[in-house]
């Protein structure tokens, strides 16, 4: 939602809490809500790596890959230790076909501790695209071990095995 959309959601929550008696006696009063909203401290969204990561993820899911990549880059610049942003940037670059750069970010995410079936699958898929099937195979096998129900790991592992005649 937009900023205004978030305010509308907040107002509905405020009303529901007032009706439940959580805000004291009496009905929800819009002027009190407006005063609270106006007085809140804004943290500077443009300086929040998690917010940028979330915005990038939404943009990616909407098919706006270039905008998503830009937001992931901003998040990584603000917080180089934020593994999800590194992984998101790697995946965006992977989708764009920039496998060499994607690999750097997938490896960073793993080095920062993001060791999930999804991160291993993306790393393995990128390695495979770069012609490094032995390394790809190892990471995809780990992905399947981490989460045997993660279908993309199985699919990509199957592609690597097939390419090897197995």
- Report the chain's mean pLDDT, rounded to a whole number: 90
CB 65 within 8 A of CB 95: yes
Give burial (CB, 10 Å; 0-12/13-18/19+) of 70. Answer: middle
The per-residue pLDDT for 65 is: 92
The per-residue pLDDT for 64 is: 92
The torsion angles phi and psi of 144, rounded to 5 degrees, stand at: -65, -40
The per-residue pLDDT for 82 is: 95
Q: Which of the four pLDDT bands, split at 50, 70 and 90, describes residue 30?
A: confident
The per-residue pLDDT for 42 is: 56
Could you give the CA distance from residue 25 to residue 81 in angstroms, rounded to a whole number? 46
The per-residue pLDDT for 152 is: 97
Assess whether pLDDT exceeds 80 at residue 9. Answer: yes
The per-residue pLDDT for 45 is: 47
DSSP calls for 115-134: --HHHHHHHHHHHHHTT-HH
Lowest-confidence pick of 19-23, 83-87, 94-98: 19-23
CB 69 within 8 A of CB 96: yes
Give burial (CB, 10 Å; 0-12/13-18/19+) of 136. Answer: buried
Assess whether pLDDT exceeds 60 at residue 44. Answer: no
Could you give the CA distance from residue 51 to residue 58 in angstroms, rounded to a whole number? 11
Instruction: Give the predicted TM-score (pTM) of the model.
Output: 0.73
């Amino acid at each position: 939602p937009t900023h205004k959309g978030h305010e509308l959601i907040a107002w509905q929550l405020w009303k529901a809490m007032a009706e439940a008696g959580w805000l004291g006696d009496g009905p929800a009063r819009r002027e009190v809500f407006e005063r609270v909203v106006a007085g809140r401290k804004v943290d500077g969204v443009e300086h929040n790596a998690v917010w940028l990561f979330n915005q990038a993820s939404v943009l990616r899911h909407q098919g706006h890959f270039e905008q998503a990549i830009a937001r992931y880059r901003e998040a990584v610049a603000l917080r180089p230790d934020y593994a999800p942003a590194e992984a998101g940037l790697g995946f965006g670059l992977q989708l764009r076909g920039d496998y060499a750069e994607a690999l750097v970010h997938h490896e960073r995410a793993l080095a920062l501790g993001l060791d999930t079936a999804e991160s291993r699958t993306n790393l393995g898929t990128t390695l495979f695209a770069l012609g490094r099937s032995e390394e790809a195979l190892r990471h995809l096998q780990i992905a399947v071990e981490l989460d045997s129900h993660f279908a993309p790991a199985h699919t990509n592992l199957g592609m690597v095995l097939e390419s090897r005649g197995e």
